[in-house]
Amino acid sequence: MKKKIVITYGTFDMFHIGHLKLLKRLKSMGDELIVAVSTDEFNLGKGKKTLIPYDQRAEIVAAIQYVDKVLPETCWEQKVSDIKKFGVDLFVIGDDWQGKFDFLKEYCEVMYLARTEGVSTTMLKDSLSAIKKISKEDLINALDILERLRNDLA
């Protein structure tokens, strides 16, 4: 009996619980899960800058027990050739791409999944940016207040 092969594509920057839940869910949909991780160069072409370099992101994704194979995603056009090359049965991507990959239905089943609520790489990056904007003086004052509270409770 032929194995059911599932493929997805993504940047997987700042790996978080939403990524893990996605990969676990995708693995449950088939026998083999292929994950194409966007390269740094491809992301720059999309106007995205990653915090974690491609090699590290790919290594993190490859270490996840649900993932059977990791490929570099280097261009938009490779999806059709990947689907053909690996005999993919199901292409899955986030619902923020709804309808954008319907042309792949000619080659395999296409599914759009809802994102994990309450967590996203964009949200994490925004939080880091907000923290970076806090002045050194405000951080020192906050530490002083915490130290006084700790002493009061001791």
| pLDDT tens digit sequence for 100-144 | 999 999 999 999 988 766 555 566 545 455 555 667 776 677 778
d(CA 21, CA 94): 12
In the chain the beta strands, taken as DSSP E runs, fall at 5-10, 32-38, 69-73, 90-94, 109-113
* Total structural domains within the chain: 2
CATH value at residue 93: 3.40.50.620
Residue of 28, 53, 31, 29 lying closest to 42 (CA atoms): 53
Q: Which residue positions in the chain have pLDDT lower than 70?
A: 116-134, 138-139
Residues 126 and 105 placed together within one structural domain of the fold: no
Residues 101 and 127 placed together within one structural domain of the fold: no
Cβ proximity of 4 and 90 under 8 Å: yes
| Active-site residue set | 46, 48
Residues 144 and 80 placed together within one structural domain of the fold: no
Residues 83 and 151 placed together within one structural domain of the fold: no
pLDDT for position 128:
53
Can you give the residue range of the structural domain that contains 154? 120-154
Residues 106 and 138 placed together within one structural domain of the fold: no
d(CA 91, CA 110): 5
Residues 70 and 134 placed together within one structural domain of the fold: no
Cβ proximity of 37 and 71 under 8 Å: yes
